[in-house]
Amino acid sequence: MSRVTERDLHWVVKRLNEVTGNSVLSHTVVDGKYVVNVGHYHIDHAYGQVKLVQYCTDGAGTRDVTSRGSKPEIYREIHRYMDGYIQAQRDAARRKPRLVWIDGQGNEHDLEQIPDVDTQILETLKKRLKGE
């Protein structure tokens, strides 16, 4: 792999913020004051190494997403993290929620397979699951 520069790290973090739906800007101005964009990912530098962190509070508290490492190591970790996030989103979109009824003995019954279930009730349950 060729040399990983500061610009490369910032580009991949910008892409991560876009993929996850977070702001690409670390702060915004509200009523003349800088406010942290909670959820924003950025690179932290210390001791000649870097790590990926994420703002988790509006008071600028952060959580470590990766441990400290060299630029190439963290660059690869960010790509793996982003790939995992994208795959999880795809998997979630593919999964269809099941409507089940659990009887008194703990047995699951698929509501769509029970012939005498009122279709209007079934449609109402489906809409509620979708958040409509």
Banded model confidence at residue 81, pLDDT cuts 50, 70, 90? very high
pTM of the predicted model as reported, rounded to 2 decimal places: 0.68
What does the domain layout of the chain look like in residue ranges? 6-94, 100-130
| Residue carrying structure tokens 């702001």 | 23
pLDDT tens digits, residue range 35-72? 889 999 999 999 999 999 999 987 778 899 999 999 99
Tokens matching residue 50: 């870097």
DSSP 69: B
**108 vs 125: CA distance, rounded Å:** 16
Give me the pLDDT at residue 1, please.
54
In the chain, % of residues over pLDDT 90:
51
Write the CB contacts of 98 (distance below 8 Å, at least 6 apart in sequence). Answer: 110
Write the CB contacts of 59 (distance below 8 Å, at least 6 apart in sequence). Answer: 36
